[in-house]
Amino acid sequence: MNVVSTAIGYPYIGENREWKRCVESFWKKKISEEQFRLEMKTIRLDHMKRQQSLGLELLTVGDFTYYDRMLDLAAMFGLVPTRYSWTGGEVDLSTYYSMARGANDVVACEMTKWFNTNYHYIVPEYEDQPLTLTKNYILDYFLEAKEELGLITKPTIIGPFTFIQLAKGYDAKSKALFILKLLPLYAQALQQLVDAGATWIQVEEPAFVLSLSTEDVKLVQEMYKQLAEEVPDAQIMLQTYFEGLSAYEELSQLPVAGIGLDFVHGKEENLDSLRTYGFPPDKVLGVGVVNGRDIWIANLAEKAADVKAILSLSGAEEVWIQSSCSLQHVPVTTKSETNLDSTLRNALAFADEKIVEITHITSYVRDEDWAGNKSVSKSMLATEALVNHEARQNRRVKELVSQVKPEHFLRPIPFKQRQTLQKEVLKLPDYPTTTIGSFPQSDEVKRTRTAWRKKEITDSAYAEFVKMETARWIQIQEEIGLDVLVHGEFERTDMVEYFGEKLNGFAFTEKAWVVSYGSRCVKPPIIYGDVEWTAPMTVKEVEEAQQLTSKHVKGMLTGPVTILNWSFVRDDISREQVANQIALALREEIQALEDAGISIIQVDEPALREGLPLRKENWNEYLSWAVNAFKLATSSVKNETQIHTHMCYCEFNDFIEPIRALDADVISIETSRSHGELIQSLKKNPYELGIGLGVYDIHSPRVPSMEEIDTILNESLEVIAKEQFWVNPDCGLKTRHEEETIASLRNMVAATQKLREQHELTRSN
């Protein structure tokens, strides 16, 4: 049996976020384009050397990007919207980053979640334009590794079906033409790789795990038939991940040289498919057995048993032992984590450690013996020690969970009755203006926080600085004319990390960064024990801000499902149980805010949708407990207390019902990059609770004009009643600069005031 170790992809950000620093230096014009490209090349090659040194046999290229791989393909195929005034040829970096981030005169392309992960991709836009292979960047990476390191690597490309499914701008009629234009370009790119000496080409088709119609399956069969005919010498490894392969009987017979299956998240379904249909004897089987989406050490003995069962069922003679998906969803290495509890640290495995696990399992499969490998017993002992950790034996938490009753998930009276009470108490104007919660974290804020964390300044000095910065922004908000204010969150680094640091059951890393979008990196907390509230987490800062103004200041919390979905979560109990523990902790915090006199409390759930199973038929179970977790956290408030929530990067067309089920008094949502689509959705599915459609894109540095916002407001009024309508940016403002933030908010308030005047004029007439 021929057995090879490989990974579907590797994190491109670097152990110390070298990639992020390089990209942002280029954006700030601190380095030239020539220096930027040179540094990017150095990062790429260093990553290849690192994987090679860890023992990985077949390395991957094409998993690197300057911003996002879907955007890379859009640029590679000439899918550049006309608003960027691109005139053909290789897409220059200015156009590339304008598509990603927007520019002074054009808005960015839409950004949304990559399947059910916390990574966001740029959505390709098809405008019926001619398509062409502008530059095969994957070929460049392949040749670079070949010439610089003497390696024949496995180039990877996102497959045509997935690319088309995730693109926008076509309908049923124009889809066929889109495919006809695109497929020859894929064939051309693949042929260039074959001609350059690529022995294997990895084609990633995560969309193959979605619910596929009969028409979808026929389309896939035709697409791959055409690719096989046009590039007969290409040895394609078709990689699927995130779930089991749909339509296995048909798609396993595609004319490709190998198929990679996820035996972590799609384990049971893929095993059932192997039992029922077997595996094509002429294909290589990619066994995705090491979890590419969590940070827990693998029990090598169990993984080896899984692989033996898979090989027995499949009868495959050529096998790749690999990660279940790209390792970009986990941090780079545990070596930097020196401050963690030893029991926890011993149970962790990041990208580098997962590669070592892959090599150990490969050696075992090859030799059918561990050959004295101590890693087997080490993994078993580490897992057992964590299971018995005292942090997982919290009696108070277990007692609180056991006392939860059905009435704890319900507000006492319906929304319409609450709305009347809240209007009387809050006394807000028509079309209330507010922000999502955070304000720009300036270099001074970051420097001061770093100095505090390094104990270079005292706790009291840091608290005084945060208090002064909060007061400054309360004054700025009042000068701008916002109606409901926020304290600005200057004491917070990350909307999940901040709460995790104040709750029992969480651990935090030093350098365990992963990419969220673009150069935005996050360090997800690790939920390893029972989650417990011990003291107020947000009351002091919000209470101090409220004392500075007669306007309402919102309490700002991150919701239980978002804390869950944006953390690395323990795997010894269900995610539902963990969510309920977090919800009960937040319920106590909300009570503390109410006791402090805070009348508007926002509990953000931007990650509610991303936890959905990829197939719609499996949604109900998740939504039932996820919605209930939010309601468990928020339903204990007085009727007069107004509960807000916020969501971003969410396709709402098929998600209105779960949003409605949250029973939040007001929801603010990201719509600036897909405003028209949501308007159409709301025309078909009216929403009766309070809602604020994000009126400008905070992920772009451009300042929207008052006229631009005015247009969005008036379009929104077509589907939202005045009594429901809130006005806000589409997300938090933490990553923006102060000058652009103030200018944008002034235009937002001016457009709202114009709307009020128009309404008053209409009413008086």
Instruction: Report the alpha-carbon distance of residue 527 to residue 341 in Å, rounded.
Output: 13
* 407 labeled part of a ligand binding site: no
Catalytic pick among 47, 329, 487, 699: 699
Q: How many residues does the chain have?
A: 765
Pairing of the two strands 514-517 and 520-522? antiparallel
- Please give the C-alpha separations between residue 252 and each of 287, 662, 693, in angstroms, as whole numbers: 14, 41, 44
Instruction: Report the alpha-carbon distance of residue 465 to residue 451 in Å, rounded.
Output: 12
* 731 labeled part of a ligand binding site: yes
* 375 labeled part of a ligand binding site: no
**Spatial contact of 693 and 712, defined as CB atoms under 8 Å apart:** yes
Closest among 6, 591, 739, 638 to 318, alpha carbons compared: 6
699 belongs to the catalytic site: yes
* 357 labeled part of a ligand binding site: no
Element (H, E) at 473: helix 459-480
Quote the tokens at residue 51: 């994987």
* 437 labeled part of a ligand binding site: yes
* 620 labeled part of a ligand binding site: no
Closest among 566, 570, 528 to 341, alpha carbons compared: 528
* 670 labeled part of a ligand binding site: yes
Instruction: Report the alpha-carbon distance of residue 686 to residue 674 in Å, rounded.
Output: 17
Quote the tokens at residue 228: 């096989």
Instruction: Report the alpha-carbon distance of residue 99 to residue 83 in Å, rounded.
Output: 10
* 646 labeled part of a ligand binding site: yes
Kindly give the residue spans of alpha helices, DSSP state H, lying in 560-640. 560-565, 575-595, 619-634
Which one-letter DSSP state was computed for residue 730? S
Which one-letter DSSP state was computed for residue 485? B
Task: Kindly provide the b/e burial profile for residues 308-319, where b requires at least 16 CB atoms within 10 angstroms of the residue's own CB.
Answer: eebbebbebeeb
* 566 labeled part of a ligand binding site: yes
**Spatial contact of 487 and 434, defined as CB atoms under 8 Å apart:** no
* 520 labeled part of a ligand binding site: yes
Strand partners, 154: 60
* 267 labeled part of a ligand binding site: no
Strand partners, 121: 112
Task: Kindly provide the b/e burial profile for residues 471-490, where b requires at least 16 CB atoms within 10 angstroms of the residue's own CB.
Answer: bebbebbeebebbbbbbbbb
Closest among 279, 204, 288, 189 to 234, alpha carbons compared: 189
**Spatial contact of 152 and 196, defined as CB atoms under 8 Å apart:** no
- Please give the C-alpha separations between residue 614 and each of 284, 351, 611, 630, 667, in angstroms, as whole numbers: 26, 24, 9, 21, 24
Q: Which amino acid is at 256?
A: V
Strand partners, 290: 323
* 436 labeled part of a ligand binding site: yes
Q: Which amino acid is at 343?
A: T
* 20 labeled part of a ligand binding site: yes
Closest among 396, 720, 356 to 529, alpha carbons compared: 396
Closest among 555, 503, 499 to 529, alpha carbons compared: 503
Strand partners, 694: 728
* 489 labeled part of a ligand binding site: yes
Instruction: Report the alpha-carbon distance of residue 563 to residue 573 in Å, rounded.
Output: 16
Roughly how many angstroms between the first and final C-alpha of the chain, as a whole number?
85
Instruction: Report the alpha-carbon distance of residue 200 to residue 208 in Å, rounded.
Output: 20
Kindly give the residue spans of alpha helices, DSSP state H, lying in 204-317. 214-230, 248-251, 267-277, 300-314
The count of other CB atoms within 10 Å of the CB of residue 351 is 28
* 610 labeled part of a ligand binding site: yes
Angle at 418 between CA 635 and CA 675, to 5 degrees: 85
Distance from the Cα of residue 486 to its chain's centroid: 25
The residue whose two tokens read 């029990």 is: 299
Dihedral of the alpha carbons of 48, 54, 59, 61, in degrees to the nearest 10: -30
The residue whose two tokens read 């520019």 is: 103
Closest among 699, 706, 691 to 744, alpha carbons compared: 706
The count of other CB atoms within 10 Å of the CB of residue 639 is 17
Instruction: Report the alpha-carbon distance of residue 288 to residue 6 in Å, rounded.
Output: 10
Annotated binding residues for Zn(2+), written as ranges, equal 646, 648, 670, 731
Annotated binding residues for L-methionine, written as ranges, equal 436-438, 489, 604
Annotated binding residues for 5-methyltetrahydropteroyltri-L-glutamate, written as ranges, equal 17-20, 113, 118, 520-521, 566, 610
Annotated binding residues for L-homocysteine, written as ranges, equal 436-438, 489, 604
**Residues annotated as catalytic (active site), given as ranges:** 699
Annotated binding residues, written as ranges, equal 17-20, 113, 118, 436-438, 489, 520-521, 566, 604, 610, 646, 648, 670, 731
